[in-house]
Structure 1
Amino acid sequence: MTTAAPPPGEDRPPVLGRPAERADASRNRAKILAAAEDLVRSRGMAALTMNEVAAAGVGVGTVYRRFGDHAGLVEAMMDDRERRLQRAMSAGPPPLGPGAPAPERIRAFLHAYADVLDTYGPLMAAVEATMPTPRRYRTGPYAVHHEHLAALITEARPGADAFYLADALLAPLAAGLFTHQRQHDGMSSRRIKAGLDDLLRGFGLDRPSRR
């Protein structure tokens, strides 16, 4: 079975881009986002406030001028994290980036995205819940992730329905499900990653193809 293409008219977006900005503005933005991420990593999303981020030395006025409010800061953090993930996928070191066998790259991506969800899962789940189904699955980051996985699946298992299997691998990484498993079912990130590895074995995507 060959890889099915999406229906006509459904665009596949490129890796997300951001308009160019002044060097000093770019440095301030990077400093604020780094401080915010360090705060979340050490104390969790509940500790993320504009004042706490400003305490890193950028000034609360700068934070508000750059991001507007708490929601704008959180959106920028998730956007920045997604851009870094996409850069790692396209040009970073293997196995997440080019240079490793396709099965290793698939596994590396799934694990890396699980790490993203471990930090931002609850917020991403809230965003997912507001998105219409067609938009959620065929635009934005999901479409980029799907295209990436489909290409690697085609390389690992020529003839497989890579378009379907990419959706099947992304399904367990829906933010709502991931957050439920972590917060309500008590699953560790390690357990979820082990389950993803089991899926790869079940789909025959844990080893290079024999041509």
Structure 2
Amino acid sequence: MSQQPAPSYVASNRIWTIPNVISFIRLLGVPLFLYLLLGPHHDVAAVIVLAVGGTTDWVDGFVARRMNSVSRLGELLDPFADRLYILATLIGFTVRGVVPYWLTGALLLREVVLAIALLVLRRHGYGPPPVHYLGKTGTFVLLAAFPAILLAKAVPSIDSWMGPIGWALAWWALALYWAAAALYLIQTAQLLRADREDRAGAVVR
């Protein structure tokens, strides 16, 4: 029996698609989360907002593929919302003392490394490399780790088992994040080497 080819999704120029609306709602959750966490310290409510934001990260991608409503805006908006959630959570958690500085530094350093690689690629006329499943999985795991860590702090009676779960997920996410970064750097080096070879060939010809 012949194997069915994997479905291909063509990104459209539409803006008001259901996945994009979900992503916009996710973005609105960022200031709400920071207010709950840093203002009145409603940690349980902040956990709920954070958990909903992490869950809808998967939902908008699933809906986009299921309804064949992948858009160019969505391809930019989804990772932007992910990074904004992670950045806001790291800032809020660090200010509140929920996570140590080394975790914040390790995650932010990874973003700085990728930002530099992206600038180098753009200077040579390349766009950003495609999102790798390791990075996407790392984001999903991290967005699951954060609510667990905060919930353990907010409800001391479950800290003995919820805390270790949250930190195990955080370590897992950190490893996936840096593994994905290594792959992106390898892709960047391959593109730059191919670019140099093409230019060298053009000079010889």
Give the TM bin, normalised by the shorter chain: 0.3 to 0.5
TM-score (norm 2): 0.34
TM-score (norm 1): 0.34
The answer to which structure has the higher helix fraction is: 2
Larger RCO (CA within 8 A; separation ≥ 6): 1
